[in-house]
Structures are given as C-alpha cells and as structure tokens.
Amino acid sequence: MKLNIGCGGRRIEGYTGIDAVDRPAADIIARADSIPLEDGSVEEIMAIHLWEHFYRWECDAVIAEWSRLLKPGGALVLEMPNLRKCCENILSNRVRGGKEPDQLSYWGLYGDPRQGDQFMAHRWGWMPETLKPFLEAHGFTDVVERPTKFHPAGRDHRDFRMEARKA
C-alpha cells in the first residue's frame, strides 16, 4: 500500500489518499498523526506540501506515526518550501509586486493567503540541512535531497524534496 497523506483534491494513481478533511481525493479521513492502518502495512508514504503545515512540536508524533505504518525499508517522500530559499528570494527582491504576496517567497513562508483557511497556513519552516538530521534522529536512513517533482515547471528555486527509508 502507498499513501498520499494530505492529498487534498490530488488523486494519484496507485496511492490511497488520506486527508484530515473530507476532500474529493481522500479515501480515508484521518489526521496525519492517527491513521487507522496496521503497523508495517505501508510501503511508501508521500506527503507533498503537507509537512510545513505542522507546528514543530507536532512533528515528532507525526513522524512516529508514519514510521509505525511503514514496513522496514519503506520509502518516505516529502516535498515542501525551503525556508532558506524563501528568505533569499525576499532578500534579493525576487518578488512580484501587486496585491498578493509572491509564491516564490511569502507563500513559502506563510502559505497561500487566498485559501482563507487556518489549516492551510504554514506553521514551521524546514531546509534540507534541518530536515535530514530530524529524519535520521527518528530512525530513517538513506536520507537524500532530490529535485522537486510536484509542480509541473519544478520549484527548485523555492522548494525541496527529501526521500528516505525506514531502517
């Protein structure tokens, strides 16, 4: 079984969609830290633009839950804004003018302001150099940064992707 946690409206073939809110692509309605599946029953967990929606103090419980679900050697795939790149974009004036904050910078820090939904706000910022040791401290190995895949044009100028394996 492969999970797309925080699926929202994104159905991905071959993945079971999980979201805390009843959304079109959600096969299971559950919080990310309490998923009603058996221990070791999952071969891959993908969470694209979800991790930044947790407060830092929630992350330990969430990663423990995902580790519980994964089989030994199971894959974890995370994609999210890179805090450092967002700040660099702001400081180098790589921002658009206008009413809405720029997607390359402020949206990465705070989330999409058009949502009008408190759960869509970003609660913590990560960078590869902070996420890798966090995952390793929670028993993940082969933690590697890869090019982003979620956005069609790629967002390596703002986002990053980490892939890891459960030990």
Cα Rg, the chain, nearest whole Å:
16
The C-alpha angle with vertex 127 and arms to 5 and 43, in degrees rounded to 5, equals 30
Q: How far apart are CA 130 and CA 128, in angstroms?
A: 5
Q: How far apart are CA 61 and CA 32, in angstroms?
A: 9
Whole-number pLDDT of residue 150:
85
Of 85, 64, 96, whose CA–CA distance to 127 is shortest? 85
- 71 CB burial (10 A radius; 0-12, 13-18, 19+): middle
C-alpha dihedral (62, 119, 53, 8), degrees to nearest 10: 80
pLDDT-based confidence at residue 31 (cuts at 50, 70, 90):
very high
**Which SS3 state, helix, strand or coil, does residue 119 take?**
helix
Whole-number pLDDT of residue 94:
63
pLDDT-based confidence at residue 152 (cuts at 50, 70, 90):
low
- pTM score, whole prediction: 0.92
Domains of the chain: 2-81+123-166 (3.40.50.150)
